Amino acid sequence: MDKLATQGMPACEAAQRYALKAKERLHWVVGIVITLVVLALFAMAVAFAPSSVRANTSLCLKQVANDEHVSLEAFFQSPAEQDAFAEAISACSR
């Protein structure tokens, strides 16, 4: 700041420029932090989305099996149950 004052710039003006630069740096830091937080939240959403979808599909299939009063293993035992399983999959995918 003294260097600016000795170069023909008043000390008050030098102090104002320094304050503006500090404020600009603060804005950049806040912007970068916000960007990193948003990217982290997006990464977490992408990481947890597939497991959530699988869990919801699994719960839906179990619900359909309970409604049909059969187990998921029974779906694979007979062709009629396999058709019911295919219908359950299409219903749960909506």
Averaged over successive runs of 10 residues, the pLDDT of the chain (94 residues) comes to: 57 82 94 97 86 70 64 63 68 66
Name the residue with tokens 């599909």: 57
| pLDDT score of 16 | 83
Other CB atoms within a 10 A radius of the CB of residue 14 amount to 17
Question: Taking a C-beta distance cutoff of 8 angstroms, is the pair 46, 82 a contact?
Answer: no
DSSP 46: H
| pLDDT score of 48 | 80
3 three-class SS: helix
